[in-house]
Amino acid sequence: MFVARLRLVNFRSYHDATVEFAPGLNIIVGRNASGKTNLLEGAYFALRAASPRTTKEEKAVRWGATFARAEATIEARGGEGSHTLAVAYVPGQGKQVRVDGVDVAALDDLRRQGSVFIFVPESLLLVKGSPARRRAHLDAFAAALDPAYDGGLRDLNVVLKQRNAHLWRVREGAPADSLDAWDRQLARVALPFEARRRTLVCRLAERYRQFAAALAPEGGEFSLSLVSQLDGFDGAAEEALVAALRARRPGEIGRAVSGFGPHRDDLKFAEEALAPSAEADAAAPRDLRLFGSQGEQRAAVLALLLAERAVAADATGDVGALLLDDVMSELDDQRRRLLVGALTAGGQAIITTTNRLYFARDELARARVIDIGAEEHGGRQTADEPADTGLGSPDG
């Protein structure tokens, strides 16, 4: 599917603007503060009813306005029909989501309509930020792809919540052996869920490695892996996990929190040294979270998004839309060509830039170029009102 049309009403700097996109590569050109990031955020908001930049949705409401609305028309490839997705946010009242004009209560009904992958500057937190953020990202991707993953995650969360409540009761004096049943429950849901998560991460890791090889700065080989307390329990019987939980019981009762299980998993972005040097520890993988440069972290996130899109496409037959905010300026020329190559290999990509010269002549010729404000280097005159500049007239 692809986003054919986007309308933003009172969304960030946009008063009321409509833009039409091509099914392939779209290049949004505009100087700083012309609304490029806002535009991608708006597209994502229409497809996901969430901002990739903030959980405080009131920030997306244009200053002084009473609501924000993003509407996208998405089209299936091969012309099998189109749908309109509309997400409105009213501060104090929350979100209203419509698909083809009909209110939908569950966000899943919106998200099932089309898949979208976005890079905004805040996306670097995927590598730099907390394990919880990485888990949430992985889970959102996986749940949309695989209902069994979604179901397994819900079951896990229910059991963890109940088990935590029970740990608290035991700490307050209930008999400790009443936890036996909860240990078994946790083991029963955790192991199959973990197996599913592991399979998915393996599939992602393979694609990730390929994309990262093209995008990462020269050096070692980038890898993605799942780090889990359950690593040793691969294919093991429930008994082994039950025993491990039993051994940790005193500490868990003290904290009244389940501290062992898939809810403590993490994704690790690392660089494996290619040719071990003379130094003894040179061959140890380097954790990009702690030691990656900004450029390496950016390459890691981009490679993950491309990997997700590829894995989702393998599973569903549909290539999702990719929204990339200002990633060209940080890449060298060779990597720009490789990235654009990956973007145009199929599927829609909408990419913003301050300078169209980051793209090669033939790339520009094949893309739809959408000007939303004078470019940083040369080009047109500076507009006074970013909100009202040429969004309505895409050329190409």
Ligand X SMILES: Nc1ncnc2c1ncn2[C@@H]1O[C@H](COP(=O)(O)OP(=O)(O)O)[C@@H](O)[C@H]1O
- Cβ proximity to ligand X, 262 vs 386, nearer residue: 386
Q: Which two tokens stand for residue 157?
A: 């969360």
Window 44 to 73, contacts with ligand X (CB under 6 A): 59, 61-63
State yes or no: residue 32 binds ligand X (CB under 6 A): yes
CB 334, min distance to ligand X, A: 25
- Cβ proximity to ligand X, 62 vs 289, nearer residue: 62
Q: Which two tokens stand for residue 308?
A: 């997700």
Q: Which of 26, 37, 185, 228 is close enough to bind ligand X by CB under 6 A?
A: 37
Q: Which helix (H) or strand (E) holds 131?
A: helix 131-145
Window 337 to 396, contacts with ligand X (CB under 6 A): 386
* Number of residue whose CB is nearest Mg ion: 37
CB 11, min distance to Mg ion, A: 15
CB 30, min distance to ligand X, A: 5
d(CA 292, CA 139): 24
Region from 36-44, 89-97, 221-229, 300-308 binding ligand X, contact rule CB under 6 A: 36-44
Q: In whole angstroms, how far apart are CA 42 and each of 8, 64, 320?
A: 7, 18, 16
CB 182, min distance to Mg ion, A: 48
- Cβ proximity to ligand X, 317 vs 381, nearer residue: 381
d(CA 140, CA 305): 13
Q: Which amino acid is at 275?
A: A
Judged by beta carbon distances under 5 to 8 A according to partner kind, the member of Mg ion, ligand X, none in contact with residue 73 is none
Provide the binding-site residues for Mg ion, judged by CB under 5 A.
Answer: 36-37
State yes or no: residue 12 binds ligand X (CB under 6 A): yes
Q: Which of 21, 22, 29, 34 is close enough to bind ligand X by CB under 6 A?
A: 34
Q: Which of 7, 13, 51, 327 is close enough to bind ligand X by CB under 6 A?
A: 13
Judged by beta carbon distances under 5 to 8 A according to partner kind, the member of ligand X, Mg ion, none in contact with residue 35 is ligand X
From the centroid of its chain, how far is CA 254? Answer: 36
Q: Beta 221-227 vs 266-272: how paired, if at all?
A: antiparallel
CB 370, min distance to ligand X, A: 12
CB 381, min distance to Mg ion, A: 20
d(CA 224, CA 212): 10
Q: Please check whether residue 132 is in contact with residue 126, taking contact to mean a CB–CB distance below 8 angstroms.
A: no
- Sole residue written with tokens 């888990």: 135
Sign of CA dihedral 367, 372, 376, 377: positive
Judged by beta carbon distances under 5 to 8 A according to partner kind, the member of ligand X, Mg ion, none in contact with residue 62 is ligand X
- Cβ proximity to ligand X, 94 vs 121, nearer residue: 121
380-381-384-387 Cα dihedral, nearest 10 degrees: -10
- Sole residue written with tokens 């819900």: 154
- Among residues 305, 351, 126, 115, which one has the least CA distance to residue 211? 305
- Cβ proximity to ligand X, 329 vs 334, nearer residue: 329
Q: Which two tokens stand for residue 265?
A: 């998993």
Q: Which amino acid is at 41?
A: E
d(CA 13, CA 41): 11
State yes or no: residue 297 binds ligand X (CB under 6 A): no
- Cβ proximity to ligand X, 62 vs 198, nearer residue: 62
d(CA 149, CA 315): 14
Judged by beta carbon distances under 5 to 8 A according to partner kind, the member of Mg ion, ligand X, none in contact with residue 115 is none
Contact residues: ligand X, CB under 6 A: 12-13, 30, 32-38, 59, 61-63, 386
